[in-house]
Chains A and B, each alone.
Chain A
Amino acid sequence: MSSWRNLLLRLGEKCPEYAGNADFKDQIEACFSVVRREIEHSGDDVYPFLIQCAEQLPHKIPLYGTLIGLLNLENEEFVRKLVENTQINLQDALETGQCNKIRILMRFLTVLMCSKVIQPSALVVVFESLLSSAATTVDEEKGIPSWQARADFYITCILSCLPWGGAELVEQVPEEIERVMVGVEAYLSIRRRVSDAGVSVFEDIEETNNAVNEKDFLEDLWSRVQDLSNREWKLDSVPRPHLSFEAQLVSGKSHDLSPVSCPAQPGPPGVLSGIAFGRQKHEAELKYPQRIRRLNIFPSNKIEDLQPIDRFVVEEYLLDVLFFLNGWVRGALVYLCLAHRKECAAYMVGLPVPFRYEYLMAETIFSQLLLLPQPPFRPTYYTLVIIDLCKALPGAFPAVIAGAVRALFDKIADLDMECRTRLILWFSHHLSNFQFIWPWQEWAYVLDLPKWAPQRVFVQEVLEREVRLSYWDKIKQSVENAPALEELLPPKGLPQFKYSAEDGTDPTERALSLELKDMVKGRKTAREMISWVEENVFPAHGFDITLGVVVQTLLDIGSKSFTHLITVLERYGQVIAKMCTDDDQQVKLITEVSSYWQNNAQMTAIAIDRMMSYRLISNLAIVRWVFSSLNVDRFHISDSPWEILRNAVSKTYNRISDLRKEISSLERSVVLAEGAASRARQELESAESKLSIIDGEPVLGENPVRIKRLKSYAEKAKEEEVSVRESLEAKEALLARAVDEIESLFLSLYKNFLTALAEPLHDASRDGTLRPSGHADDMTIDLEDSSVMELDKDDETPKKSHPNGSRERNGYNLDEKQQWCLTTLGYLKAFTRQYASEIWQHIEKLDAEVLTEDIHPLVRKAIYCGLGRPLDE
């Protein structure tokens, strides 16, 4: 890479490119002198690269802005092009709804304004376009209030610029910026407050009315910006390198900026009713998602004491680094994994702020890991970032992470079920990267809790996942400091083969099993095995015994590894398929699988998952089995049935989304094929209509050889078109079937949830709530207590043990039925939320068949929350 590029990339870093000199002013000057020369030969390479740097390393924007300000003094034409292109990029991002790009480019423009590159009034015009679009959207007559998410996003973008240029704007165009602020305030007064009910990490199936008084994200940002304005726009977190060059920069010629326009409203104006409103709102929120929901997990004396706006700015930096340094950007043709990971951790650690922020950093990363409905990236990404940060800051970060885990653990009973699962997966993976070392003795008290207490279940599930990533003895060793916890380890994971020799099983069945094993060893075909089953076993022994023998024996042969299992299913799956054609039989099949692997949750899940892959088991059968009483009884005690349910739903969903992808690519092929066919036909026609002279005679049509060739081209192109069309139609038919399939899956899922919940809810809930009445106040006191104890622990007592009250400390006072209901409702909400987009498409059916008048209000609430559907519609 040429040196000017390196200098631009590394600007602001202490690095060899700048001979280890970290002074911003020196760096900018050094970079400037190289880049200005480069512009003379290849300016057209430089400005796109500069814009890319600003877009992808946004925490360095002030440095780039100042550099560009200096370049503007030398080469106005170059900077004019840069500004023009930035505007084009912003316009494009607005039209395509690329949230991060919009936000970052607006920050870039703000900083360019600070360096006198663009006129302040031009920036205000951009603000006003966004503001007016937002105001229109939420207008009940002219706008589409269901798209408030986009309007909120635009306002967020405007407010987010102010930390970078508020001071300059107020100084240079006070009236205009005041107009914008008034406009924002007006907007805030007409929009609806956004409810986080379905997507908050700490849930509240009970209504505690706190939410009503809390500010939503935009109101919160507004108050931070007002606070900033009260401090005369001074803040610590944004470097202002342009001030060092102010004397030079003032003489620069500010460029104008073409106005930008926001995309038209996505539909006819007006307030929609009920379902249509909810559906559109859901769509808008997916397109313009909220970037972060603060967790506030650390006690206030722990988290760095920052000005409100500084906290916001640091979060922006961190989220930007997480976003732009995610391995690599999709579609790019490079492999940069390791290089990038280091960059990511390094950039996160080296933000340009003069204060410490480890706690804020941890909280921000956890807020992403636990973001609902979906984190921006796969959870393993955050695992990796945390691992790298622990290594990059070995003296500080591991302790902060441990603190976060403790804080989350203390509140685990309020944690959303989906977040609990993510936390379990993260924590086990994290520990597996650090030798499974954890002060388990701190949590040994969970053994005194009932076996359904969320903290106890959490410990048990973390241990389960650790064992899967490692092996039993190793994990047993890792809990040495709290040996009693061994009780929570999963069983050793060996299969339970019904027909193993030692057991006193039925000798006839054992003989059949041995016979079957011999057939496998003798490499008999599936067909031979089927006729053996149909002729020799089934007539004499009936379905149940036959199924037991076949399934247990085949599973035993495939028990050695995942590959063995696949092999045996590929070879003899047909035997099972032939036997289990309906849901009843398939439920029995699953029962047999779960009995064989009763000591191994992972293998149970894998075996069922593979059988669904080979279509030996339908998703409906899995749902039925999961909701059979044996499983229902452990809903609140184990993640295992839920894991199997999650797999089944996600596999069904993957099938449908793969089909959609294939169809959209086939649709493109059809258009191409049509084009090709019509071009070929036109060419042929025009050749045919031409007069040519053959043997001195004018004849209609060109040279016959060419005509023949064109004819065959046209035919081929037509055939191609027809064949692409046919495959599209075939896929569409498959999709239609898959849509029906997923609809009946969700209906069945909801009906099963309803049936399972009906009675327990009736018994457990009083006054429509699940917490024992009168205890609600105790709960809040307990929580406050726990944060006080947190202080004690961290500041004074090195050893955390509460012999006299760990149970009270955690406020655990639910009976089994209440906990069962809370857990099951939590999973109901989590499933609904994860597949909300899919479910919204079938909402009419759901309303008619599931969400009827008489369903329990808590069930309705869980489903509505998951869908983001207002309860009062």
Chain B
Amino acid sequence: MASLFKDLAKISAYRDRRFPGTQEEFEEALLKSTTVYVGNMSFYTTEEQVYELFSRAGEIKKIVMGLDKNTKTPCGFSFIMYYSRDDAEDTVKYISGTILDDRPIRVDFDWGFQEGRQWGRGRSGGQVRDEYRTDYDPVIRRGGYGKLVQKELEAQRQLVDYGTGSLGSYPPVMPPPQYGRHSGNHGHGGSYRHGRGDYHRKRHREDDHHRSDYPKRSYVRESRRASDHESRPEKNPRFRESGDSDEEDDDDRKRRT
């Protein structure tokens, strides 16, 4: 099929400005890489959730969570390294666009993780894409599958008719991203991001364990927008208590300095 639709798309629409080579070398690297970039993740998503989902496409070698360069907390992206190229391809094909932790994630080939790339490069410290994120998951708004199952229980059997050539009536599943264009729902997307971004959390990672001179990480806790907290749990329920105590926190700092 690809050979038929060849000219429709490039291997990646995103060109990493940090890549040290030419465009051709960049594309070459993407074609060989066994690393994928995962974007648009929830800030709460843990490595174990990522592992559960992505190991369904193959054996995972490594996961590197992207961290906000200011707060040193996860900021919605990660790199996943596989052992085999086929597995990496399968994640791009089969997992991109599906939901992880209530968010539609995107999965792209990446040219390979290097130290330093785990830090978000957006102006705010997070993902670049967050800066003009205006979309949100359309499935959730529609009520999704569960409601539909319930409808079914009400014996509602109005099946849609799809006779010949019904492609035209195929409803768009994802609205096209409106980069840079401020549409009506921008407000929603924006506050969503801030709400999440400001919520304090504690995560301890040492993705870059092989370097001893990496910068000391501070676990900044901000609560700039108290209003955002009201509807949220006080504590991220996904973290194992034992790994989350203040004592540990201190220990980690000592160890790193």
Contact = CB atoms under 8 A, between A and B. Distances in A.
Interface of A: 1, 9, 12-15, 20, 22, 49, 52-53, 56-57, 239, 324-330, 332-343, 345-347, 349-350, 352-354, 356, 358, 378-381, 383-384, 387-388, 390-396, 398-399, 402, 425, 429, 432-439, 465, 468-473, 493-495, 497, 500, 517, 520-521, 523, 556, 559-564, 566-567, 570-571, 602-603, 606, 650-651, 654, 658, 794-795, 798-799
A556 B243 CA distance: 8
A334 B146 contact: no
Contacts of A437: 144-147, 149
Interface of B: 1-12, 31, 46-53, 56-57, 59, 62-65, 83-84, 89-90, 92-102, 108-109, 139-140, 142, 144-155, 157-171, 173-174, 203-207, 209-210, 212, 237-238, 240-244, 248, 251, 254-255
A332 B47 contact: no
B43 to A, nearest CB: 14
Given A338-B97, A437-B144, A564-B205, A654 B240 contact: no
A561 B168 contact: no
B146 A336 contact: no
Contacts of B65: 563
B4 A561 contact: no
A466 B165 CA distance: 38
Contact of A564 (B31, B84, B204, B244): B204
Contacts of B2: 328-329, 332, 334, 336
A567 B149 CA distance: 44
B152 A399 contact: yes
30 contacts: A1-B7, A9-B4, A13-B165, A14-B165, A14-B166, A56-B4, A57-B4, A327-B89, A327-B93, A333-B6, A333-B31, A340-B93, A354-B163, A380-B57, A383-B94, A384-B95, A395-B148, A396-B159, A399-B149, A402-B149, A402-B152, A433-B145, A438-B146, A472-B237, A494-B240, A494-B242, A521-B251, A523-B255, A564-B243, A654-B83
Nearest to A398: B148
Report which residue of B65, B167, B206, B242 has the largest number of chain A beta carbons within 10 angstroms of its beta carbon.
Answer: B167
B51 A606 contact: yes
Given A398-B149, A658-B84, 18 more contacts: A9-B4, A12-B165, A52-B4, A334-B6, A334-B8, A338-B96, A340-B1, A350-B165, A356-B162, A380-B94, A380-B95, A383-B94, A398-B148, A399-B152, A434-B144, A520-B255, A521-B255, A564-B206
Nearest to B247: A501
Nearest to B174: A338
A571 B211 CA distance: 12
Contact of A325 (B1, B102, B157, B165): B1
B5 A22 contact: no
Contacts of A393: 160, 162
B49 A469 contact: yes
A14 B134 CA distance: 31
Given A15-B168, A399-B152, A435-B144, A562 B51 contact: yes
A388 B173 CA distance: 8
A559 B53 CA distance: 19
Given A339-B9, A392-B171, A433-B99, A332 B3 contact: yes
Contacts of A334: 2, 5-6, 8-11
Contacts, number: 280
A50 to B, nearest CB: 11
Contacts of B204: 560-561, 564
A330 B28 CA distance: 16
A692 to B, nearest CB: 44
A568 to B, nearest CB: 9
B8 A339 contact: yes
B171 A399 contact: no
B202 to A, nearest CB: 10
A99 to B, nearest CB: 17
A354 B151 CA distance: 27
A507 B202 CA distance: 31
A432 B95 contact: no
A20 B46 CA distance: 47
Given A13-B167, A393-B162, A564-B205, A471 B59 contact: no
- Please list the 10 inter-chain residue pairs (A to B) with the smallest Cβ-Cβ separation, ordered nearest first: A437-B146, A327-B93, A332-B2, A434-B145, A399-B152, A560-B243, A328-B2, A14-B168, A22-B165, A398-B148
Nearest to A344: B1
B173 A342 contact: yes
B100 to A, nearest CB: 7
B142 A346 contact: no
Given A340-B5, A469-B52, A500 B242 contact: yes
Nearest to A380: B94
A56 B152 contact: no
Given A12-B165, A495-B242, A564-B204, A346 B109 contact: no
Contacts of B159: 356, 358, 395-396
A353 B164 contact: yes
A261 to B, nearest CB: 27
Nearest to A335: B11
A233 to B, nearest CB: 21
Contacts of B31: 333
A709 B14 CA distance: 47
B165 A471 contact: no
A349 B162 contact: yes
A330 B215 CA distance: 42
A1 B237 CA distance: 51
Contact of B153 (A329, A342, A566, A798): A798
A571 B255 CA distance: 14
Given A15-B168, A387-B98, A392-B171, A561 B5 contact: no
A473 B237 contact: yes
A438 B145 CA distance: 9
Contacts of B169: 14
Contact of B206 (A12, A341, A567): A567
B106 to A, nearest CB: 9
A53 B5 CA distance: 10
Nearest to B96: A337
A396 B240 contact: no
A328 B94 CA distance: 11
B8 A1 contact: yes
B51 A556 contact: no
Contacts of B142: 394
Nearest to B51: A562
A381 B166 contact: no
Contacts of A350: 162, 164-167, 170
A336 B8 contact: yes
Given A384-B98, A402-B152, A562 B47 contact: yes
A559 B243 contact: yes
Given A338-B97, A434-B146, A497 B165 contact: no
Nearest to A48: B3
